[in-house]
Structure 1
Amino acid sequence: MLTKEQMTDVAQLHVVAESFAAAVTIIGAAALLCFIDLGRFTRDVDLVVALDLEDFAVFSTQLKTRGWTQEPGREHRWRGPSGSLIDLMPAGPNLRAAKRIVWPESQFAMSLVGFEHVFARSVLISFAPDVRFKVAPPPVVALLKMVAHMEDPYRRRKDLDDLKVLLSYYEAGSDRIFSDEVFAAELEDLEHANAFLLGTDVGAIATDEDAEIVHSFLSNQGMSAEELTELDRDDFHQRSALQFHMQIKAFQKGFDARRQSWAGR
């Protein structure tokens, strides 16, 4: 899940964060790799630390005294003493309330929509004997990747690729694939159960603001009736596009059903 060097650097960062009583959680592809095979290795580890910008500045200074270096022009990109690439995002209470961070030097803005879930729903994962870190579970990471892709779809292409893997393999091997919940959904094909269950679980955590972004993402990724009519199902790439469209529909079915059931409580 993490290399020895990555574990060493992440562990040291946790030690520094403890002096600030700040939680640290792994997100992104590194988090997903704790639960699912993405078919790729990620050379960088995305971390979120529960600090606002004022404390993060002090935190950054302490990292530098321990041999950490910050990449010029990319305030979130760090290299640990063991050589690991770490993308480090501050998300303290004030930043999460604002739902956005503006980096002080570059003035580059990044969305923090959905980051309340990062700390509230993280799970403790064992990476090695006596080495455990908090990790965001797949529904939280899926939500964050949808938000990131909507904010910058061209720069965040890998987020879409990871989401496609999640839609195909979420809960693979789990009894939930054959649960009453899935059969009651009357999906067009059981192979879309993974996407349906991911939608169900994202729907269970999504706020109204989260839901608006999720629906925008689903709308952008789905195919129009005209596109479906013109589809050449003998073409591999177009068949893949159709498969993704069907997964998006299954995800939306699960997402909307869970949101409606919660609204009725």
Structure 2
Amino acid sequence: MKLLKKLIAVLAFAPAMVLASGGTFPLDHAPDRSTDMAALQNGAKLFVNYCLNCHSASAMRYNRLKDIGLTDDQIKQNLLFTGEKVGDLMKTTMSAKDAKEWFGAVPPDLSVIARAKASGDGTGADWIYTYLRTYYKDDSRPTGWNNKVFPNVGMPHVLWELQGVQAEKVVEEKDPHDPSKTTHKFVGFEQLKPGTLSKIEYDNAVGDLVAYMQWMGEPAQSTRKRLGVWVLLFLATLATLAWRLNASYWKEVK
């Protein structure tokens, strides 16, 4: 019952989270790796190592990762670090008090974040995929980081060691409506410091992480889709039989 209440609370705040993260930066399309077990497993590893330090996923249990091909032993050896059990919920050890003091707000639960971030501009997966790849150095921010998708974001760039440090590149242009004024146009990023991964490798890693977060939002999605296909086939067969039976019946009546 407690878990259900938490999940309802997360869903209730989802619209507000979408509005708070609003922006006009174009979203890149996240790769579809929903059925790639290796990608989902790597995404789970990245999630536990980099996201669970501050965020929780209180609607997900570690043992549910067996659905993406991991065994209990693999979960224990690779994903449990602070004495949790395989059946425990994915929770952070950071207290809400410390989180608010360090970041100004308690980091949101990520159980259904991939669904909550969906908007008219793209899916939640597209939002997260673009967000995690558009951090840039900004010394004017308290954390030293800013983001093109979520301007003035409070969360630091937790994946910076993988991606490296990049700065935004802008050019000045004359305002077409007022030649006396200039505007700043974003034209891309400049790599200031390389990370442990190349750009392609980092994009792939983020794609795996996003695929896992999307799967985590609805672990039964693949099963639901497979069942849906079989149900539609059954209904189509039933409708065909009913149509032929109806035709046969009225033929005899005539």
Q: Could you tell me the TM-score, scaled by structure 1's length?
A: 0.26
RCO greater where, 1 or 2, for CA within 8 Å and sep 6 or more?
A: 2
Greater Rg by CA = 2
Looking at secondary structure, tell me which structure has more helix per residue.
1
